[in-house]
Structure formats: structure tokens, C-alpha cells
Structure 1
């Protein structure tokens, strides 16, 4: 049986709901409807659910919380009777009014091709190496970072695009606000309030061309502010480091363990800024635990530290409850970065970033001088797609789809790589496996690519020496290809004599 990092067997646990970060285990026994109605009422009071918001269907929310549909129906009905919600038939349940705000003293605190030569794999991962790796072709590609592109909702997107064009004013075809269209900024503000616990005004949202551009813009802005280095997780994304290096920023490594980034080591670097993936650390899959979140919060407040929060696939979770974004409690210290790449497709090139107040104007200026703003038409389509509920439906579909493929990969690893330790199975679009052995994972990846299976060696994403391992994406491959690819890895490993056998 494959093991998690702490040695426990991999298993599923009851998940909570992304909607308002509801966790049913917080509800008292026998009072689930009361508890749910109270949580929704609080969200109405503090603005996370503004007038016009659409609530999840009772069947959907009940399924996510693991309760009977009657529990959700009763909670909704109470709020309908209070005049806060209204049932609109096929259009769902809508917020029509918010309760009077509580006095400040009593209000609860808000959570604010030909195979790549082996030498390429073994070489130090400079930009040319990474580009070669990224563009190399293989019949079975288990690279991390891609959702199932075949699952892109073409029909729903096309319908939405036609609706946008039918109502598009001529003035909407001109040069727009470099921050992004107001419609998309509003949709993003609503999305992150519902799904990531972040309260933000649409004016705080800047639309960018994906997280890659976020890092480039932030690199320029922070260098202008006298910052010459950004600490990074180790292991951590090679691609992210390369974007920062391109901005002439150093990236001192800080170790990651089973609880997340080592904040004591972060303090020891003396750096003023750090890049994190706290909801699902890349590549280990670790979630930043509560005690570490508290340590990180203290560091940020005591040192006036800056955090770049890359929330790259936080919505893709399967066997754990959601965790709120750091931005929800550290708005003055956190640059929050998200994108549609893992939710829909990287081809859209749409992302968003929220900056601390001190840097907001400088970041908008950097975006304006970079490209005058993202293309408006895709923004308007995405805004309507999100506000119509289509994004939630797509996310639910992807979760089922990706979970099935994740399970197929875990079964294949158990069969063909039984000595591997599996990390990060509870969420995301990839698994990381490590081995209690000494061999070059770059050699293993090179030999696999020679047999038409492409993977990432873990050492590519590490600045310091770590146990050998592989980072394996499962979302973009069929279960059949996953099984065949992992079987090939097992054959290569056993035949090479480089590492443990079966």
C-alpha cells in the first residue's frame, strides 16, 4: 500500500464546501439547519454574499456537506421567510436583502517529439533547459500543471460568448481600463468571497495575463521598492523562480516540511518578501497548517513582511476541507494571485491579483505600461460565465473527473512502484512521489522520456539536495494512459538498477 508522507495509508475523508468555507463538523449535533442558516446570515451581514448573489442548489450544497437535502432546504427557507433570500425557480435561490449590520462590538471577526537527450535532464535547470522540457513531446505526458483540456466547456462558453456579443455596446470595443473590465473585476471579487474567504472591493482586483505576468509585474514593482530577493519554498516551482530571476531577483530557498514552510528559516534569511503556495504547496501538496499560519502571520506583522500567495489550484480538492486564503486575514501584507488556467484552460491567459494598498497604484501602472490591459472580450465572457453559475458547475465536473484520474494513478503506483511514497493526494492536479534510495531522478526522467513518457524529476524544483522523486500530473491524461505511463516508469526503474525495485 502506498503511504502518505507521515506513513498513514491514503484514504478519503468527508469534505466541506467551498461555498463560504463551510465545514459541517463545526455544527452542533441536531442543529445543522440552524447552524447553516446562521453562517449564511453572517455572510450576508459582512458582505461576502451581496444582493443578487446566487446560492448553490440545495442538492449540490447538501452533497458537498454530506447532509440530507432537507437540512439545506430548511436553512434556505428560514432565510426566505426573513426576507433575505428568494426562490426564483430555475434561476435558483437569490440574495434579495441583507440583515441589519450588528454593532461593531458584537460582530464576529471576519477572516479577513524526439526524446530530449539525457544530458538535458541532468543539467542544471536554466531557462533553456526548462523550455526544452516544457516543449518536449511524448506520447504519454504526465507533466504537472494542466487540467483536462478536453473537458473545456465549449458549448457553454460559446453560448455565453454569444450572449455577451448580443448585448455588447460599441463603446465596449475601445481601449478599456488597464485594471480589467468592471464586470470581470466584480465577478472575481464575488468568486473569491464565496470560495476563498476573501472580502475585496472590485476596485482592488487587477486582471492580468495569468500568474506568470503577476510574477513579472510584481518583480518590477518590488525591485523599484528596493527589494532585491524573494524567498521561495524548497522544493518549489522552477518556473516561478525563473520568472523572478528574469526580474533580477534572487530566490533564497526556505525548507518545506509536513506542516508547510519553515517560518523560522524564513526569518533567518532576513528577506522582506516570500512566495508561497499555502493551500496546496507545489510540488509536495502540503497544506500550510494552523500553527505555521500563525507563525507566518506574526512574521508578516512584526517584520512588515510581504507574502505573494499563489493560489494556483486551491479549488481542486478531493479529500479535505477547504482552507481560507492568507489574504483573508493579511490584506495589508499579501499579494493574492489566482487564474483561470487550472479552472478552465491556460489558453485564456486570464488571471487576477490583489495587492496590498501600498503597492496597488504601482502595480496598475506596471500593467498599463506592459500592455494597456488584457483583451476585453474574453474578460466579459468569463465574467458572465462566472456569474451565471457555470463556473461552479464546471468545477464540480472537474472534481469528479480529476478524482477518478487521481485514483487511477494511485492504483498504478501501488502496483508498479510499490516502494514510492505518495505526497499531495488530497488535492490538486498532480502527485509527487519520493523514494528512500539514492539515485538521480533526472536520469530516471530521461530514460522514461526515451520510452515516450514525460514526467518532471523532483530535483528540477529543488534548489537544495532532496530525496529523489517525480512530479506526476494526472488531470490531463486518461486512466489508460496513466496506467501505461506509470507501468513504464516501474519497468525503467527496475531495469536501470538506479533505485529500488518492486
Structure 2
């Protein structure tokens, strides 16, 4: 594809008092930019008349410079009076930055849905409908909570599917869980909260954010029934982050008794439960449990995202907030970025309201379930010592490692065979919990899962 470089966009510095002819200075400047890759192949150069006018030169000076560069092979003159940058080898910097080795051929990295299945046609219909029907005023600056259309569509969907108690006025649209959780922790720290409890093990991203805003993160053990509420009570935490519907990474589901105990814990003081409902749409053995937020709307801040269900590159997330957090969170969002992109919000609102989101999830559930079943069956056949834990749900499977088999050595042996596997060490708060592996399978196909487990079995035998 050809790009154009207008006369005003060609940054050339000329010195009229250094004794070097101007056409040579112009040649040198253009030649240097081409060799550095700053003017790419097939870029259309400014006309000689336009460039001469822009640089306050006679046209003859520019013509002479262009002719010399054409003769040297840096430029190509085409009929019709335009000149292109030639395709030449770009000179690399002397001190290049070392590039890491290529990725594994088969990669069990977690948090990668199958983005090849993104429903492009349905999304395009929503985008077209939005562009054709949205009034002009909707493209102005927004309320920090996001468009009313998306907040309405999501509150209807989440109340129906996840059992939440959402209303459009207590929802906020954010750029994924990353932004929403960061803003929430900032607001909580500003309100005087000092200690955040996290499940141990759990994703470490939020622990780092907590430290950055001045909150102390304390770990609370995860039981088969969910977070240990008695240990939570002893922790002295002001807030707790839970993945109640499908704990990450153990796969545990919070029991009814633990859910009630969490709500009671929050109600005994000015405490908050932060519910990360990151992949509850993918439960394969039964219907997923309802969101904790529906039990205590004033004590639970609910977070959801399209990253696992549609594509992480959309950067679409949402929060259902207790009433006392709506105003400060709205201010924080406005100060952070003035609001998430309106076109994406309106397209997603249309996508959800017309049932396309439901249809996409119905199509993806059997696909992911087949991958999970294949992974579990292949583990049982080839490496039965790696027994999966947790329920049939989500986009990952966790296994403990038997005594004497270390995560680091196994990861290295697997990588030598072109396989990426990942240990539990990053997810323990103190980094010293039992060894295990987390298998993400969302972006793989069935044959890759089978081959990957075969390679893992070979790596284990070698150790």
C-alpha cells in the first residue's frame, strides 16, 4: 500500500551558510531518512514544486536532488509526475536491542481466548447500525460512567444471566478489568482503606496495583469451598478480592455457606468485597452460580470484562458499584481518560441488546468444553500423576506437581521441545506454595492440545 509524504511532513534541515550546496544537503537528508527506514518503500514523495515552496528553494535545486537520488536507486520516478521511495535495505543501528527467542510452537499460556472466532460479521452489523443511527450528540464528551445504551444493555444481560442487582446508574464502563480495578483501588485508598486481602494463590496483577496506591496486600488461603473466611476475619483487611464463580487458578467454586459468610463479613463493618467475574459464562457441567453482588449490592463491587468472551483487544470492561462508590469512581474515570471510546461502547450495546452476545457464547461453550475434555483425557492417558483440580469451567486447568518435580526444570525441559507450560509460583503471595501447572487452552485446537501433552510427557520422562 502506498503512503504519501506531504511537503510539510518531510522534515529536512538545511544550512544556507555552511558552504555545502543546497541540492547536496537535500540529497543527504532524504538519503539518510530512507536508509534509516523513516521513509518507507513506495512512499510518494512531495512534488518538486511543493517541496521547493515548503523549503524556500528554487525548483531546480529539488529537481537536481531528486535526479541524483533516482540515479543512486533511492527514489523511483514514475510517469504522471510523481516520485516513489525505492525498496532498499534499511541500515540497522550499530547497537541493536537484543530480541528474545521466538515463542513456543505450542503454548499453554493462560488468558488467551480464541480470537479467531471473533464474530466479525455480527460486530460489523452493529458498527454499521451505530454509525447510521446514532445521533450526533452521542459523539460528544460522555458521563464518566459510559454510554447509557451500554449500561442499560449490560445491566439487563447481567441481571438475567448472572443474577446481579445492576441498574444503569450504578454501572461504569472501563477499559478492561485492569483499568477498572486500578481506579477502584485508588478510590478505596483515598477513602482511607489500608489493607486488601487476596486469594492465595491468585493473579498477581492486582497485588502490584495495590502496592502502587499504598494498600497492603495480605493473602488468604483458598479452600475447596472458596476463600477461607475465618482467615479473612483474622487478616484485618478492609476489602477482599474474590473470584467466586471460578477461582483463579485453582478452579474452586465458592459454596453457598462461604458466600453467606463473605456477605456477613462485609456487613460487620465498612468493608468491601470485590468480585472479579472473569469467565463465569464458561461453565460446562452445569449452570454457573449467580454473582455474589446480587446478595449484597451495597457491599460488593462487581467487575466483568469482554476479554475472555470476545477479545482482550477490545478493552471493554464494566463495574457494578455500590451507591457510595459511584460518584468518586466517576470522577476518577474522567480524570484518567475522559471516558472509554464511544463507538466501541455503542457497538457492544447493540451487539448485546440484539442477542448476538448470547449467540456467540452458545457457539463457543461446546468448543472450549471439547478442548478442556481433550486436555483432561490426554493428561490422564499420558501423565496421570498430573491430576486436574477444580470444576469443569473457564479457559484453564490447574494440576499439582508430584513431589520431586520442580516447576522451573519442567518449564525448561518443555521449552526445549517447543512447548510453553507455566507454573504456580507467580500466583502465590509469598512465592513458596506447592508446585503446580496452569494450562490455558483457549487459543489452541484439539490436535495442538494432544501434541502438547505428549511433549509434556516426554519432558517429564527426561527429568
TM-score, length of structure 1 as denominator length: 0.70
1:347: which partner in 2? Answer: 313
Alignment check: 8 A CA contact 2:108 2:440 kept: yes
- In the aligned structure 2, how far is the partner of 1:237 from the partner of 1:188? 25
The 4+ residue runs of structure 1 with deviation greater than 3 A are none
Which structure 2 residues correspond to residues 316-335 of structure 1 after superposition, within 5 A?
316-335=282-301
1:478 correspondence with 2:445: yes
Alignment check: 8 A CA contact 2:252 2:391 kept: no
Which structure 2 residues correspond to residues 26-65 of structure 1 after superposition, within 5 A?
none
1:468 correspondence with 2:432: no
For the structure 1 residues 160 and 211, does the alpha-carbon distance in structure 2 shift closer, same or farther, using more than 3 Å as the test? same
Which structure 2 residues correspond to residues 121-140 of structure 1 after superposition, within 5 A?
137-140=103-106
For the structure 1 residues 488 and 210, does the alpha-carbon distance in structure 2 shift closer, same or farther, using more than 3 Å as the test? same
Q: CA deviation at 1:425?
A: 4.2
Q: CA deviation at 1:276?
A: 0.5
TM-score, length of structure 2 as denominator length: 0.76
The equivalent position to 2:202 in structure 1, one of 236, 245, 251, is 236
Q: Secondary structure at the match of 1:251?
A: strand
1:258 correspondence with 2:217: no
- In the aligned structure 2, how far is the partner of 1:443 from the partner of 1:228? 38
Alignment check: 8 A CA contact 2:239 2:273 kept: yes
Alignment check: 8 A CA contact 2:407 2:437 kept: yes
Which structure 2 residues correspond to residues 362-381 of structure 1 after superposition, within 5 A?
362-381=328-347
Which structure exhibits the higher relative contact order, with contacts defined as CA atoms closer than 8 Å and separated by 6 or more residues? 1
2:408: which partner in 1? Answer: 442
2:15: which partner in 1? Answer: none
Alignment check: 8 A CA contact 1:320 1:427 kept: no
Q: CA deviation at 1:175?
A: 1.6
The equivalent position to 1:224 in structure 2, one of 182, 190, 195, is 190
The equivalent position to 2:351 in structure 1, one of 385, 391, 394, is 385
- In the aligned structure 1, how far is the partner of 2:186 from the partner of 2:205? 17
Which stretch shows the higher mean deviation, 435-444 or 407-416? 435-444
For the structure 1 residues 446 and 242, does the alpha-carbon distance in structure 2 shift closer, same or farther, using more than 3 Å as the test? farther
2:49: which partner in 1? Answer: none
Q: CA deviation at 1:291?
A: 1.3
- In the aligned structure 2, how far is the partner of 1:141 from the partner of 1:481? 9
Structure 2: gaps (5+ residues): 1-98
RMSD: 1.7
Q: CA deviation at 1:444?
A: 1.6
1:142 correspondence with 2:108: yes
CA offsets 1:442-465 (integer angstroms, 9 cap, x no match): 332233233322222012111243
- Count of aligned residue pairs for this structure pair: 364
Q: CA deviation at 1:185?
A: 0.5
